[in-house]
């Protein structure tokens, strides 16, 4: 069945450094890739997304890249701040709208 893998499971960076989270998906029919941020005790919040016909998308300090051939996509956060500390989930949406989540990356930004 469909599967999304995510690495690393935990990531610690110094404030101001960059953070990169990588995901792979199994269903080649997936056409949409959202990223969610979940702070402790709160609901997942959509922070950025990318469609299958785009290779890269940027929004201020965050960017996503997609390699459809390799079925890889990544989240890049630059100039990290303490408020970026959270669990980040990647997800892949198939052509029939099913959304599969990765297991999550716990990001800690050390002041």
Contacts to another protein by CB under 8 A:
1, 6, 31-32, 34, 36, 43-46, 49, 51, 89, 91, 93, 96-104
Q: How far is the CB of 16 from another protein (least distance, A)?
A: 28
Q: How far is the CB of 68 from another protein (least distance, A)?
A: 14
What does 82-101 look like in DSSP terms, one character per residue? GGG-EEEEEEEE-TTS-EEE
Determine the 3-state secondary structure of 68 from DSSP: coil
Q: Which of 73, 104 has the CB closer to another protein?
A: 104
Q: How far is the CB of 79 from another protein (least distance, A)?
A: 24
Take residue 89 and report the two structure tokens written for it: 């989930």
Q: How far is the CB of 21 from another protein (least distance, A)?
A: 13
Please state, in angstroms and as integers, the Cα–Cα distance from residue 80 to each residue in 20, 37, 53, 72, 88, following that order.
11, 14, 28, 23, 14
In the block, which residue shows the tokens 């599967």?
Answer: 3
Q: Which of 45, 81 has the CB closer to another protein?
A: 45
């Amino acid at each position: 069945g469909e599967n999304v893998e995510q690495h690393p499971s935990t990531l610690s960076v110094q404030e101001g450094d960059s953070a990169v989270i990588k995901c792979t998906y199994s269903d080649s029919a997936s056409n949409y890739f959202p990223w969610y941020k979940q702070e402790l005790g709160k609901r997942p919040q959509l922070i950025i997304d990318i469609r299958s016909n785009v290779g890269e998308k940027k929004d201020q300090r965050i960017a996503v890249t997609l390699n459809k051939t390799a079925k890889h996509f990544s989240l890049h956060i630059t100039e990290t701040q303490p408020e970026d500390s959270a669990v980040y989930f990647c997800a892949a949406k198939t052509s029939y709208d099913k959304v599969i989540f990765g297991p999550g990356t716990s990001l800690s930004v050390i002041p």
